[in-house]
Amino acid sequence: MKPPPMTTRGAQWRRVDPAVATAFGCIILLLLLGSLYSSRFLSPEYLLQQLKVASFLGIIATGMMLVILLGQIDLSVPWVVAVGGMMSTAATGWGPIGEALAIPFGVLCGVGLGLANGIGVAYLRLPSMIITLAVNAVAQGLMVVHTGGFSPQDSSSAAMRFIATGDTLLGVPNALVVWVVVGGATVFVLSRTTFGRAIYGIGNGERAIYLSGIQTQRVVLVTFAIAGGLSAFGGILLAGYASKAAQAMGDAYLLPSIAAVVLGGASILGGRGKYIGTVAGVILITLLQSILSVVQMEETGRQIIYGLVIIAMLLLYGRERLAR
Amino acid sequence: MRDWRYRLGEHRGTLLAFVFFILMFAVYASNHPAGFTANVVQTAANKGVLLALIAMAQTFVVLTAGIDLSVGMMLVLTNCLASAIVLGAPAMVGLGVAGVLLAGLVCGAINGAIVIYGRLQPIVTTIATGAIYFGVALAIRPVPGGDVDSDLADAFTGRIWGVVPASLVALLVVVLVIWIPFRRSAIGRAAYAVGSSAAAAYMSGVPVRAASFLVYVLSGLIAAVGGLFLTFITASGEASAANGGSYTLFSIAAAVLGGVSLFGGSGSAIGAIFGALMFRTIGDLLFVFDLEPLWQPLFQGVVLLAAVCLGSVRLFQIRNRLDLF
């Protein structure tokens, strides 16, 4: 077989996923609609602010995407996010060493919960929907005991506030820089490493990948651990952004993170989807939420429009082929 | 009966849930400060039946290998609706109840139509429709409040002849009127077939679409019964996203505890009911043993984790490593 021809510009264009193109098209449409209401929607300050808010969801959705690519789902996001935020702020209260190690400690707690998910899915062969639900319940229980029994510190450290709210060069928010780094690493892992290819492979058919000599169980375990760490890291950023951690802080991130991944064209059954799609989905959802709140839409209308947009977009390009 | 082993195998999950529930409830009732009285049973029944209804609603969809993440939001929506329209003269109350049930049917039918005819994945579809139902619930009841006809509420949450909790009788009626006819009908068997293997079912001429659509509609209807019941218990309506979310999670957990397979095609609503009652009793056990309320969520979580890990016992029966995947 001949190697595939070098990609010319035209070929590159044809390879664009219709889902990703539609999602980016909708982003532009939303911005245009917004600019009819107020010209502020096209100002660089507004766009940067939106990208900053989007980075929190973006980092959490990155973990969700990795898990969805495996053909699994992570419903433990709400309380893993909360664990990340609450444990890092608690560590801040343990003196200077605790403050220095707050961020890694929070991420580590998330990785621990992710490992519990991964063991359940990879080695105990439990459906991910149910084991992550149980881990979510355990994490909630742990945090209730933690806050009630030890009354830990809940305000975030200076470092957390710096990476979540600060600006470095040219007014680019630090949170956005963090998202770009996380996203870049994810793209590299997914497209250039054996591990990344194995994730796609497992989503398409774990048996075949196992037979071709990949330790699939280890890949699944590590992927869930990474997803847990990313969720917790998202929680740390959120705690830094709000300058404190609270119990229900992760509740609002489960459904948007799944929606962002799916709107970006990834198949919920696994094995198919690109990171750029998830980026588009995250920005789309953040913009939608922002514009609906700026035009002072009531919560009622916001929820309804949010649901309708997801369904309408999926009907455009997310339909399954007619089997048989 | 030569085929008793197959029958036992088919109902193993249901029987296990039943035995576990009886054991737990016996421990609970015998340690309750007030003892095993009609009052204790009535309180436990009212709390349990609500969970049992929502678990049943989930089970219908899970049997076809689908999932309904909007169950909790349908419950919240019908709760808000019931707190607004089940009031006034007897005729109005009757109309109100019918309206609430109809709302549940419509919600279920919307889910079913999008999943079956729109060919979208059930997980994402029901997440999105759940947001819509929650929005509607908020429109009906922006702040918690409302009321419900108190005679009707007392009748459903009280006791019949001073002994039998009326809520249990209501649950039994739901089972007899909806679940048993469904299970015995051709379309109910079709739902099981779809859950086992949709492709094989289609090839055998099973009405795949009709069966998949019907389970979503029935799921919505039973969620509405649950919403009515919640209104009878609380005598108010509240549009709370947190409540909706936790009811959805409970419904999945209870169905799994009751032996319903998330891969579809096996389990029964009866099992889910005992799973729900069991889950409810776990929470109550802490109360009788005087454990600090602080530890309750953790205890419930650990029990849930342990219960779902029991599902991996089947790994010991696997001979070929490839069957793992």
Helices (H) and strands (E) counted in chain B, each on its own, are: 15, 2
Mutate one of B138, B140, B299, B310 to test the A interface: name it (highest A CB count within 10 A).
Answer: B138
Whole-angstrom CA distances from B19 to A203, B15, B22, B23, B29 are 38, 6, 5, 6, 15
Calculate the alpha carbon distances from A114 to A74, A122, B244 in Å: 9, 12, 25
pLDDT of residue B295: 83
Cα A90 off chain centre by = 24
A-chain CB neighbours of B325 within 8 Å are 206-207, 210, 216
Cβ within 8 Å, pair B118-A315? yes
Residues of B in contact with A136 (CB under 8 A): 249
Residue of A137, A259, A322 lying closest to B127 (CB–CB): A259
Contact A137 B299 (CB under 8 A): no
- pLDDT at residue B2, rounded to an integer: 66
Sign of CA dihedral A63, A68, A70, A76: positive
CB A125 within 8 A of CB B324: yes
CB atoms within 10 A of CB A125: 17
Lookup result for tokens 């990703």: A20
Task: Spell out the alpha helix ranges (H) of chain A.
Answer: 9-14, 18-37, 44-69, 77-92, 96-100, 102-118, 128-150, 158-165, 174-192, 194-204, 206-211, 216-242, 254-263, 275-294, 299-317
Separation between Cα atoms, residue B108 and residue A280, nearest integer Å:
31
Nearest to A282 by CA among A312, A262, A308: A262
Q: Does the complex come out with an ipTM higher than 0.85?
A: no
The residue ranking higher by pLDDT, B178 or B264, is B178
Q: Which residues have C-beta within 8 Å of that of residue A147, sequence separation ≥ 6?
A: A86, A154, A247
Amino acid type, A221: L
Picking from B61, B70, B123, B322 by the largest number of A CB atoms within 10 A of its own CB, the best residue to mutate is B123
Residue A244's DSSP bridge partners are A155
- Mean pLDDT over B185-214 rounds to 89
Nearest CA in chain B to A149: B294
B90 has a pLDDT exceeding 60: yes
Read off the tokens for A81: 């996010």
Whether residue B1 is predicted with pLDDT greater than 70 in this model: the reply is no
CB contact under 8 A, B295 and A141: yes
Give the separation between CA B212 and CA A134, rounded to whole angstroms. Answer: 28
Mean pLDDT value of segment B145-157: 79
- Within 13 A of B138's CA, how many CA atoms are on the CB side? 18
Which chain A positions have a beta carbon within 8 Å of B310's beta carbon? none
Write out residues 198-217 of B within 8 Å (CB-CB) of A. 198-199, 202-203
CA distance B230 to B11: 30
For residue A185, the number of C-alpha atoms closer than 13 Å in the C-beta half-sphere is 11
**CB within 8 A of A61, min separation 6: which ones?**
A256, A257, A260, A261, A278, A281, A282
Is the pLDDT score of B311 beyond 80?
A: no
Burial (CB < 10 A; 0-12, 13-18, 19+), residue A46, is middle
Q: Which residues contact A244 (CB under 8 A, 6 or more apart)?
A: A89, A154, A155, A156
Contact B135 A311 (CB under 8 A): no
Of B138, B302, B322, nearest to A303 by CB-CB distance is B138
CB contact under 8 A, B305 and A138: yes
User: What residues of A are in contact with residue B131 (Cβ under 8 Å)?
Assistant: 255, 303-304, 306-307, 310
Q: Do B302 and A138 touch (CB under 8 A)?
A: yes
Report the C-alpha gap between B266 and B258 in whole angstroms.
Answer: 11
Separation between Cα atoms, residue A94 and residue A99, nearest integer Å = 7
Q: Which pLDDT value is given to residue A64?
A: 95
What does chain B come to in residues? 325
Residue B302: both structure tokens together: 């650990």
CA distance B306 to A131: 10
Q: What sign results for the dihedral spanned by CA atoms B182, B185, B190, B195?
A: positive
Residue in this structure with the two tokens 């209501």, named with its chain if needed = B170
Residue A322 has a pLDDT of 64
Q: Do the chains contact at A207 and B322, CB–CB below 8 Å?
A: yes
Binning pLDDT at 50, 70 and 90, where does residue B29 land? Answer: confident
How far CA A5 is from CA of A15, A17, A191, B91, in Å, comes to: 13, 19, 19, 76
CB contact under 8 A, B301 and A134: yes
For the stretch B310-315, contacts whose Cβ atoms lie closer than 8 Å and that sit 24 or more positions apart, written own/partner, are: B311/A124, B311/A126, B311/A130, B311/B256, B312/A124, B312/A125, B312/A126, B315/A124, B315/A125
Q: Is B119–A211 a contact, with Cβ atoms under 8 angstroms apart?
A: no
Task: With beta carbons under 8 A apart, name residues in chain A contacting B123.
Answer: 73, 258, 268
CA of B38 vs chain A CAs: smallest distance (Å): 32
Instruction: Determine the Cα–Cα distance for residues B181 and B172; give it in Å rounded to an integer.
Output: 13
Q: Is A71 left (phi over 0), alpha (psi -120 to 50) or beta?
A: left
Q: Which of residues 275-314 of B touch A (CB under 8 A)?
A: 294-302, 304-305, 308-309, 311-312
Asked whether residue B231 carries a pLDDT value surpassing 60, the answer given is yes
| Amino acid A323: pLDDT | 56
A contacts of B118 (beta carbons < 8 Å): 311, 314-315, 319
| CB contacts, 8 Å: A308 with chain B | 128, 132
DSSP state of A282: H
Whether A75 and B312 lie within 8 Å, measured CB to CB: no
**Which chain A residues touch B262 with a CB distance below 8 Å?**
127, 129-130
Q: Average pLDDT for residues B224-249, to the nearest whole number?
A: 87
Residue A303 is nearest to which of B134, B142, B298, comparing CB atoms?
B134
Please report residues of B whose CB lies closer than 8 A to that of A127.
Answer: 262-263
Helix (H) or strand (E) holding A16: none
| Average pLDDT of adjacent 10-residue blocks, chain A of 324 residues | 50 68 87 84 86 94 96 92 93 84 93 95 88 90 86 81 80 90 95 94 91 92 96 94 86 87 87 92 91 81 86 79 59
Contact, B46 vs B300, CB < 8 A?
no
B163 min Cα distance to partner chain A (Å): 36
Contact A141 B124 (CB under 8 A): no
**pLDDT(B61) > 90:** yes
Residue at token pair 């079956």: B116
Q: What is the mean pLDDT of residues B112-120?
A: 90
Q: Look at the alpha carbons of A116, A120, A124, A130 in this order and tell me if their dihedral is positive or negative.
A: positive
Give the residue on A whose Cα is nearest the Cα of B242.
A251
| Token code pair at residue B144 | 């918690």
